[in-house]
Amino acid sequence: MGISRITTLTFSNKFMMCGSGKKCGVSSVAWWLLVIGGLNWGLVGLGGFMMGNWNVVNMLLGSWPQVEWIVYILVGLSTLLLLWGCKCKTCAVDTK
Ligand SMILES: [Zn+2]
């Protein structure tokens, strides 16, 4: 329990440092969705070679296809948001 919390904190700090510093809630959520989407996609590829379904999103939400698709759409939208850059005050101040 304690260790996983520390790992989570270390991870989020690392990702914060990759970015421009402080992020608003929307950008933070977008970051995490992108990370989840990226890891999931990596697992899909690995799972393909291992002859298994390693699509975690599909495993968790496979019984609700619509929810699964919404997750993918949200990951896509998060990518667009991060590519385009969030225009809110918190992010604008820290971006250059
Ligand atoms: Zn923002």
Cα 96 to ligand 1 centroid, rounded to whole Å:
14
Ion ligand 1 — residues with CB under 5 Å?
A: 24, 27, 86, 88, 91
Cα of 23 from ligand 1 centre, angstroms = 6
CA 87 to ligand 1 centroid distance, Å: 6
Give the chain's domain count.
Answer: 1
17 in any annotated domain: no
Q: Could you tell me the maximum CA-CA distance found in the chain, to the nearest angstrom? A: 47
How far apart, in whole angstroms, are the C-alpha atoms of residue 24 and residue 88? 8
DSSP tag of 88: S
What does the pLDDT look like over 47-93, one tens digit per residue? Answer: 999 989 999 999 999 999 999 999 999 999 999 999 999 988 888 76
Residue numbers of the domain that contains 28: 23-94
Rounded to whole angstroms, the Cα distance separating 93 from 60 reads: 38
Distance (Å) from CA 94 to ligand 1 centroid: 10
pTM of the model: 0.69
Position 77, amino acid:
L
